[in-house]
Amino acid sequence: MENQLPMLEKDVKKILLTNEQIQQRLKVLAERITEDYKGKDLIVVGILKGSAVFMTDLIRKIDLPLQLDFMVVSSYAGTQTTGQVQILKDLSVDITGKDVLLVEDILDTGTTLFHLTNLLKSRNPASVKIASLLNKPDHRTADIDLEYEGFVIPDEFVIGYGLDYDEKYRNLPYIGVLKEEVYMNKE
């Protein structure tokens, strides 16, 4: 295993993306974002909690003045999506006329981003685009335009680098696959 977190790592089946692979990809994405948003009024909106780690690494590679904000939404209980998007915390600023970049850790069914982009577009921003570290297309039900994609991943239950299982494992420095036995007996 990559790091020294044995309490967490005993539940990891395999490492899918190392921290080094992630940082290299973020550099490429951040360079594109820097180019695309030059002269624009950029506000980066992190969708908590999953995007926290990705967002903090990504913004430190973007060479532009930018504003930050966060939303807290939730649609999952355990490993299953509920299909309902709850806004637990809304934006704290007005996005009228601003260029919004939504930052997500994972695009799965698309339910979350479908609802969020529609909601934010109704507030008259100049633009709304999406950056997602991971794209898991197998169960997509909504048509989502993903402008900045980190990695396409297979249909496995991934944890780490912000992603959780029952609120745990977010602090692993890489993306790993959770051992089935960890969630098999619980659902």
Residues 66-105 touching ligand PRP, rule: CB under 6 A, are 74-76, 81, 104-105
> From the list 106, 131, 153, 172, which residue makes contact with ligand PRP (rule: CB under 6 A)?
106
> From the list 15, 37, 44, 111, which residue makes contact with ligand PRP (rule: CB under 6 A)?
111
Rg for the chain, CA atoms, rounded = 16
Q: How far apart are CA 112 and CA 85, in angstroms?
A: 6
Nearer to ligand PRP, 57 or 104 (CB): 104
Q: How far apart are CA 45 and CA 125, in angstroms?
A: 13
Cβ atoms of residues 54 and 103 within 8 Å: yes
Q: How far apart are CA 102 and CA 70, in angstroms?
A: 9
Report the sign of the C-alpha dihedral through residues 119, 123, 128, 133, in that order: negative
Site size toward ligand PRP, by CB under 6 A: 17
Span near ligand PRP by CB under 6 A; candidates 14-22, 29-37, 47-55, 175-183:
47-55
CB neighbour list of residue 38: distance below 8 Å, 6 or more residues apart: 64
57 is catalytic: no
Q: How far apart are CA 32 and CA 34, in angstroms?
A: 5
CB of 65 to ligand PRP, least distance (A): 27
Q: How many CB atoms lie within 10 A of CB 119?
A: 16
CB of 109 to ligand PRP, least distance (A): 3
Among the options 108, 138, 143, 145, which is catalytic?
Answer: 108
Residues 130-169 touching ligand PRP, rule: CB under 6 A, are 164
Residue 47 in contact with ligand PRP, rule: CB under 6 A: yes
Binding site for ligand PRP (CB under 6 A): 47, 49-50, 74-76, 81, 104-112, 164
Catalytic center residues: 108
